[in-house]
Amino acid sequence: MRILVTGGAGFIGSHLCERLLSENQEVICLDNFFTGRKSNVAHLLDDKHFELVRHDLTEPILLEVDQIYNLACPASPVHYQFNPVKTVKTSVMGAINMLGLAKRVGARILQASTSEVYGDPLIHPQTEDYFGNVNPIGLRSCYDEGKRVAETLFMDYHRQNNVDTRIVRIFNTYGPRMLENDGRVVSNFIVQALRGEDLTVYGSGEQTRSFCYVDDLVEGIIRLMNVKAEDIHLPVNLGNPGEFTMNELAQEVAKAVGTNIKIRNMPLPQDDPKQRQPNIARARELLDWSPTISLAEGLQKTVAYFADGLENTSTERKSNAETKKALKGQSELSAKN
């Protein structure tokens, strides 16, 4: 099959491309390199079944493919809030462009949605039939509401045009190839611990998240794309039900790095959800899927990745100001669309 992965040069997308190639599929990786990097897929470039296309998903594109994994969208709050209008455009216009493509060529299409559609949830753990508690006008809304509209479009293209759609609601996922300056909690804590810096815990640190290792997630996504079942067009939660407070996560990172850590409490960002835990009964039933990698094991693999990367780049590490400037440049380019 020829498979399109949008956002394929990003963290999850690059693991997905790698896995699909290992199964002898032909992969087209499409990315505008906002938060993705060529280096994430550099090792795949020599594979004759792999193609890398620089393209912004807010613009239509004509391709002939059998399946589409629509992952393009910045996922870290720091990145998706950098140019919020562009984030909405990527989710909404990106979904429309990809659904139009799927409709034209008869491809099956999967949308990477998110646990953020549940907002600050009042139901715990979260089941797929919960409508969520999302602020439509806050700083996280560009991401949360963008993904909610993307889900709406997927359901309507299915009902109206009979497009073969899938929706995965991904809970916090971590692993190698997250950006060092990503801003998400796992990469922040690991990088800080490796550098001997204080770990920045936002708020009291008693808010919870459930962390899934990237290989487990990719396995679930591929199963969802390929399973045949009656009501498979409905959203499916994928995540690891193990739930940790940020204070507990800091201690787990300390163990994985093998160092003593100090905590620095910082202000809690606006609308930060208090709790998050997936109910994965639907994924178990439809996909026979559940995560196999514990937080301790996954953190060890991720620490190994960052330890190696930080050693290699320590002499040329960008200052925060330089990183922000680089991001601004990329974002201004993207904003023109």
Per CB under 6 A, residues contacting ligand UDP are 77, 172, 184-185, 188, 200-202, 207, 209, 246, 268-269, 272
Annotation says 157 is catalytic: no
Minimum distance from CB of 234 to ligand NAD (Å)? Answer: 17
Of 115, 101, 35, 114, which is closest to residue 68 (Cα–Cα)? 101
**Phi and psi of 259, rounded to 5°?**
-145, 160
Choose from ligand UDP, ligand NAD, none: what does 33 bind? Cβ within 5-8 Å by kind.
ligand NAD
118 binds ligand NAD (CB under 6 A): no
x/- site string to ligand NAD, residues 182 to 221, per CB under 6 A? ----------------------------------------
- Distance in angstroms (rounded) separating the CA atoms of residues 219 and 224: 9
Choose from ligand NAD, ligand UDP, none: what does 112 bind? Cβ within 5-8 Å by kind.
ligand NAD
Q: Where are the alpha helices (DSSP H) in the chain?
A: 11-22, 77-80, 84-105, 141-161, 185-194, 214-226, 246-257, 281-287, 295-313, 320-335
Instruction: Region of 221 please: left (phi>0), alpha (psi -120 to 50) or beta.
Output: alpha
**Which one of 118, 143, 157, 213 is the catalytic residue?**
143
Choose from ligand NAD, ligand UDP, none: what does 71 bind? Cβ within 5-8 Å by kind.
ligand NAD
Of 205, 276, 207, which is closest to residue 240 (Cα–Cα)? 276
Nearer to ligand NAD, 10 or 119 (CB): 10
Both tokens of 31, joined, read 């990315």
Nearer to ligand NAD, 11 or 154 (CB): 11
Q: Which residue among 3, 17, 18, 36 contacts ligand NAD (CB under 6 A)?
A: 36
Other beta carbons within 10 Å of 105:
15
The catalytic residues are 143
